[in-house]
A and B are shown apart, each in its own frame.
Chain A
Amino acid sequence: MKNHLKELRAERGWSQNALGEILGVSRQSVNAIETGRYDPSLPLAFKIARVFDLKIEDIFSDDEGEG
């Protein structure tokens, strides 16, 4: 799964640690999601979408769907 989390975070000038605190997860989790090494659970994906005021599909995209 691909995502634009890093770009969105950079636009707001947040560090991984700061975003982790907002989401209630560790910096390592934010890092792992950004690098595509870990796919967040659905509740966490919704939380991320709410933080950035976007839809989940605006942040995350399926590799196969992108063709």
Chain B
Amino acid sequence: MDDDQTERRGFLSFLIQIIRPTRADCWSLWSIFAAVIPTFVIGLGSSLTEQAVERGFEGAVPLAGWLGVHPALVIGVFVLTILAILGGYGWLYTGWYRRLDELERMIEFKALGTGMIVSVILWVISVSLTTWFPLMEPFVDTLIGAPLLVVWCASYMIARACFRRYHDA
């Protein structure tokens, strides 16, 4: 493609941007893991908590009782905090990060942050729905588990594509 050629702005090119790695040689695989692993752990943690509560282990998360919130929320925030610390450290100090240039680093920061915020908001909403509206539980249960992984991945990758698109217009 000619460098100065204006990039096509059709829907198809946007879809391509969502999955297109900027430096395929070093970080495309890592970015997939970065998106999938935390979400998988959070989703799995939430699902396990749900199962534990269903089997009568409400006392396993006393903090939830004190705060008057759903146990999954407490577990999720705890797991998220640990992951944020470990993930942040690993992300900053891996060779992958050092090989990104400054624009790519900024885009990654923004996209990861956006993905995290979107998924946490959806997750809190879904947990709150269960707490406040018990009838929503069957629907929300499916939202808290594995589908959260998809939400995280989708938010991160779409945000990254949008930021790239903006800077590469």
Contact = CB atoms under 8 A, between A and B. Distances in A.
A15 B3 contact: yes
Contacts of A41: 102
Interface string A21-43: 00011111101100101101100
Interface size class on chain A is: 10 to 19
A38 B4 contact: no
| Most chain A Cβ neighbours within 10 Å, of B4, B101, B106, B167 | B101
Contact of B169 (A15, A25, A29, A35): A35
B102 A37 contact: no
Contact of A38 (B3, B22, B23, B167): B167
Interface in B1-56: 3-4, 22-23
B164 to A, nearest CB: 7
Interface residues of B, number: 14
B3 A16 contact: yes
A31 B168 contact: yes
Nearest to B102: A41
Contacts of A15: 3
Given A35-B169, A37-B166, A37-B169, A28 B3 contact: no
A46 B136 CA distance: 58
Contact of B103 (A16, A17, A38): A38
Interface of B: 3-4, 22-23, 101-104, 106, 164, 166-169
Given A28-B103, A29-B102, A37-B166, 8 more contacts: A15-B3, A16-B4, A26-B101, A28-B104, A28-B167, A29-B101, A31-B3, A32-B167
